[in-house]
């Protein structure tokens, strides 16, 4: 049999910030509607409803001394170590993020040099042919970086690629917007390597879509909801939550199915669905909708590991962090074994959706 080139994950790493922010931390916030009216509910009521809708009880924030490239670098170190490779052999470093290098107290956009260039510098890589670039693609950015890396590997252009997802959302969230309780900080990294195999392994198929004509403003940057806020000249991450929920529910399951169809794999063969940790109830609804596409009403146990209840939504970092936790046996009872079939899927600003089918 002829051997084909496949992209396999050989190393993973994560950085979970040390500051735990519980829902009770928001009891003293002043929350406003998008039209500037103060919300006519107690903070206890707002937080209780928030927990019910999102399942988020706490999230992690970085300490004041850290910036985005720092946490990206920390996760990269772990990934390189676990892959047991020489960092000088990396052909690409792809860093997915959405807000650049944000320092404490400064929301000014800073993307020069790129975060990937900063990470390469911190890794002290001398090789000039380790190409470093950034990928802003909303929450699906890390997964899109994996897809791009797969193209590089299968074209013969690369053998080892580092893909990182890192964001510090706590510094771009409006403290007067209840949606700010969703956002968290974190970083996750993955090493992809080329392998020759007679049987399909690693990345088997993927699918990406961008619905910009109608849905490009589901997530956007806008002013604080508190009109007289001292930071009224700043821009914060805003979300049209209800429309985003419906969009994701209608389109993510079908995108996953399209990816499975591309490699002739049935959903019954899937061992784990690693989905972007956006909203607990929304992810549950998308999984249920996915199984309904196959006429399955009863969902298998432990098929979709979830970290959002205690890590919140760290955007591009959620999936690689989740993957690293499972692979390193830090998220029992979940485990990934040789021969398993995995689904990776994400949805976010753009609006963008992507899915990857992976054979361990």
Domain spans of the chain, in order of start = 4-197, 202-359
Give the pLDDT confidence score for residue 231 in this predicted structure.
Answer: 67
Return the residue matching tokens 């699918």: 207
Fold match, 4-197 / 202-359: yes
Prediction pTM value: 0.95
Give residues with Cβ within 8 angstroms of 291, minimum separation 6: 267, 297, 299
Give the pLDDT confidence score for residue 228 in this predicted structure.
Answer: 74
Structure tokens at 353: 């959706």
How many whole angstroms separate alpha carbon 60 and alpha carbon 184? 6
104: part of which helix (H) or strand (E)?
none
How many whole angstroms separate alpha carbon 29 and alpha carbon 174? 10
DSSP 251-314: HHHHHHHHHHHHTT--GGG--EEEE--S-HHHHHHHHHHHHHHTT--SPPTTSS---HHHH-B-
Give the pLDDT confidence score for residue 227 in this predicted structure.
Answer: 80
Give the pLDDT confidence score for residue 2 in this predicted structure.
Answer: 82
Which of 247, 323, 334 has its CA nearest to residue 285?
Answer: 247
Give the pLDDT confidence score for residue 108 in this predicted structure.
Answer: 80
For residue 327, give the 3-state DSSP assignment.
Answer: helix
Task: Compute the C-alpha angle 278/279/283, nearest 5°.
Answer: 90
Q: Which residues pair with 190 in a beta bridge?
A: 12, 163
**CB-based contact 75:173 (threshold 8 Å):** no
Which of 89, 111, 92, 90 has its CA nearest to residue 101?
Answer: 111
How many whole angstroms separate alpha carbon 45 and alpha carbon 48? 5
71: part of which helix (H) or strand (E)?
helix 68-83
Q: What are the φ/ψ torsions at residue 117 (nearest 5 degrees)?
A: -65, -40
Q: What are the φ/ψ torsions at residue 249 (nearest 5 degrees)?
A: -65, -35
CATH fit for domain 202-359, picks 3.40.47.10, 3.40.109.10, 3.40.190.10, 3.40.50.720 = 3.40.47.10
The distance from CA 254 to its chain's CA centroid, rounded to whole angstroms, is 19
Number of neighbours of residue 306 by Cβ within 10 angstroms = 19
How many whole angstroms separate alpha carbon 318 and alpha carbon 332? 17
Tens digit of pLDDT per residue, the chain (360 long)? Answer: 689 999 999 999 999 999 999 999 999 999 999 998 999 999 999 999 999 999 999 999 999 999 999 999 999 999 999 999 999 999 999 999 999 999 998 778 899 999 999 999 999 999 999 999 999 999 999 999 999 999 999 999 999 999 999 999 999 999 999 999 999 999 999 999 999 999 999 999 999 999 999 999 999 999 999 987 666 778 999 999 889 999 999 999 999 999 999 999 999 999 999 999 999 999 999 999 999 999 998 899 899 999 999 999 999 999 999 999 999 999 999 999 999 999 999 999 999 999 999 999
Give the pLDDT confidence score for residue 1 in this predicted structure.
Answer: 66
Instruction: For domain 4-197, give the CATH number.
Output: 3.40.47.10
How many whole angstroms separate alpha carbon 282 and alpha carbon 40? 25
């Amino acid at each position: 049999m002829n051997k084909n080139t496949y992209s396999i994950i050989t190393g993973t790493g994560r950085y979970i910030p040390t500051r735990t922010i519980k829902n009770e931390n928001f009891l003293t916030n002043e929350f406003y509607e998008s039209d500037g009216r103060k919300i006519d509910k107690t903070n206890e009521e707002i937080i209780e409803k928030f927990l019910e809708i999102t399942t988020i009880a706490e999230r992690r924030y970085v300490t004041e001394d850290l910036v985005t490239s720092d946490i990206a670098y920390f996760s990269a170190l772990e990934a390189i170590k676990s892959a047991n490779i020489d960092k000088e052999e990396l052909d690409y470093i792809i860093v997915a993020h959405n807000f650049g290098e944000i320092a404490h107290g400064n929301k000014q956009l800073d993307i020069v040099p790129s975060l990937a260039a900063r990470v390469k510098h911190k890794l002290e890589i001398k090789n000039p042919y380790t190409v470093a670039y950034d990928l802003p693609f909303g929450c699906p950015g890390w997964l899109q970086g994996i897809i791009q890396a797969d193209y590089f590997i299968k074209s013969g252009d690369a053998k080892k690629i580092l893909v990182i997802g890192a964001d510090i959302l706590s510094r771009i969230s409006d403290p007067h917007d209840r949606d700010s309780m969703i956002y968290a900080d974190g970083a996750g990294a993955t090493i992809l390597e080329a392998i020759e195999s007679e049987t399909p392994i690693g990345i088997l198929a993927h699918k990406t879509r961008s619905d910009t004509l109608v849905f490009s403003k589901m997530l956007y940057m806008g002013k604080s909801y508190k009109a007289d806020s001292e930071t009224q000249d700043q821009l914060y991450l805003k979300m049209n939550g209800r429309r985003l929920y419906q969009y994701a529910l209608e389109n993510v399951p079908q995108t996953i199915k399209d990816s499975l169809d591309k490699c002739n794999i049935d959903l019954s063969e899937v061992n784990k669905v690693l989905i972007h940790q956006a909203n607990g109830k929304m992810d549950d609804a998308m999984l249920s909708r996915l199984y309904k596409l196959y006429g399955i009403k009863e969902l298998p146990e432990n098929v979709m590991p979830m970290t959002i209840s205690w890590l919140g939504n760290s955007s591009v970092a959620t999936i690689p962090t989740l993957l690293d936790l499972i692979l390193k046996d830090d998220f029992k009872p979940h485990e990934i074994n040789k021969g398993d079939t995995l689904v990776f899927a994400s949805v976010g600003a753009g609006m963008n959706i992507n899915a990857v089918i992976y054979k361990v």
